[in-house]
Structure 1
């Protein structure tokens, strides 16, 4: 059975101005249940991860400041919202959802986290609404528990996975692939193993052609036995922050290409949702739900 990490704590601890884009964490499972794509049995609510797992990826001093709620105000502004205990618990649960999803994927082939994709968090910083890097932590969990020997992280959020790139820049067992807006946040990029910077305004055909080529390159260079996919929908033309001009059809085809490649190669796949900031919440929810629909079609 395909499992989806979900927890109702995701939305409520956020400051008022950040609650609109976070509504998707509630609406995506509701929509999938409404359409009959999933049943409640597909959903699971993760517990927080433990400190020792965090410290496999993030530096001790940074984690202590998060844990003790003593992160300097300047660093909290870099994250994008003031630190509090509920937000930290939210992040710890999101990360456990990605770890547990990865373990479920080892059996079922694919698993989801309705949140996650916190790829701007580096080893000793938070940034861009990301405090702990869920897929990086989950990657180290798999490696340290000998559940994987070679990991590919495919990051197709419109923003570069700078934190993920920094964390794994000296780790040959993890190959980082980021296809992102060149002139978009973060404006100081890190070096992934494979970066594909995109010009503003890229449309469907060019995007799909670039992905088709570079996806093959990423698989060839990494030879993975496990794949993480960050499927941000801020590549949509309706997105307020993305500067890329994809239709929902192309966004769904992007997902199909990644998921089909993993299924064909017999590679377990964990998917975290990443960004999405369209003015109409329906555009965000529809595009994210398409990712689930592709996977459920392929794995049923």
Structure 2
């Protein structure tokens, strides 16, 4: 093991459920995708499918790969939740640095949003509630973990379409309360344009509310699915968000945004729920972080929706909660 990573591994608690994988026993199969700092392959271990992320270690990517490795091991090495991808372990062989994860058979959310009819309404709601639960768990950790790159590409779906937050390469640790702000390096702009909170771009600052902003954009994307169209032209997400913020304060502004965002052709569409979720999204994307709700407030709203549907709310720290949701959405989970 390289000495530069030893402190990160030693900081993990004794109950950390990750292991060091021997390189000569890892078998690389089909490529599942590629990000800024690494490529992911399908593999097998003890007759079980796994995913291996091979980090880039050359030139421009060298420092980024190192930080990605440390961030992911530190963030996922000692916590587990039904809505966080499970880090099984790592492998370091010379200049090769790998992270080993559970295999997610239904790929990432962005693949499903490319076709409007692949995700019906109930399935979308189940996904967004799962993402919120995962974020809430991160924000309740001590110290707090902020993801800083919430987007459809980083939401993975397992065989039951359970959503799991993935790619913690940009994650940061806050040593204080959830309202605390972390100053970022002057050259650091973690996140993805469109989903990145404005305070990160403009002030080089990040907090748990930065994740809430990204969650709001993700929620809006799930309500729509297709590219956003303004005046007959497709616009990028960040341009649309700027328009929505401006219009929202105008008379009849909410209805204008509703008419553009909401895709009522989604199977099982519910107009009342759509309005409720859109209002949550608009609160989350406010420019001032102090005006955004905390993710726990968002979950309280979801709890109210569940009760109206006749679903008993149980925190997802208890696995039975997802079993209840699974029964509620069992027909939605089956591909047509």
Question: Normalized against structure 2, the TM-score is what?
Answer: 0.29
Higher-strand-fraction structure:
2
Higher relative contact order (CA 8 A, sep 6+): 1
| TM-score w.r.t. length of structure 1 | 0.31
Structure ID, larger Rg: 2
